[in-house]
Amino acid sequence: MATLLTRRLSVSTGGPFRCHDLTPDLQALVSESGLGDGLLVAAGQHTTTALVVNENESRLLADIERFFLELVPPDRPWLHNDLHLRPEVPPDEPRNAHSHLIALKLGNHLCLPVVAGRLGLGRYQAVLLVELDGPRERQVLVQLRD
């Protein structure tokens, strides 16, 4: 019978656009679980964050931010930002349509192999939580299965 372990990671993010390396936290969960070979599934719990695998190099991360903010500029007249036209909007609601749109492009789920107790990542790969509307407290749901 397969074993299933579920955990929730909490991440205090910087922002408004910031990448956070989750690789050490995810590897710690794998190590704690004792899982040898199996799968790790991670799901972001927010519509303005993303989960990606890429290189955690500061200049590349700056390029990623620049690329997406040029692709989806925050100052465009997005309909989602017409807060006065939306029902029951809390007073602290941000104008964050661009964050939702970037998240759609990047995605918020990952499935990674676990091999011999290690995340199956390549030499320069890292698991990054991309904050698109921070700073905030964020959650990532993680499941491990053999």
Contact 138, 131 (CB under 8 A): yes
* Domain ranges (residues) in the chain: 11-78+95-145
Q: How far is it, in rounded angstroms, from Cα 126 to Cα 79?
A: 34
Q: What is the pTM of this model?
A: 0.94
Instruction: For residue 18, report the phi and psi dihedrals to the nearest 5 degrees.
Output: -150, 140
Tokens (6 digits) for 12: 């205090």
Tens-digit pLDDT profile for residues 79-134: 999 999 999 999 999 999 999 999 999 999 999 999 999 999 999 999 999 999 99
Helices (DSSP H) in the chain: which residue ranges?
23-33, 58-71, 97-106
Q: How confident is the model at residue 32 (pLDDT cuts 50, 70, 90)?
A: very high
Angle (deg, nearest 10), helices 97-106 and 58-71: 120
Q: Which fold has domain 11-78+95-145?
A: Jelly Rolls (2.60.120)
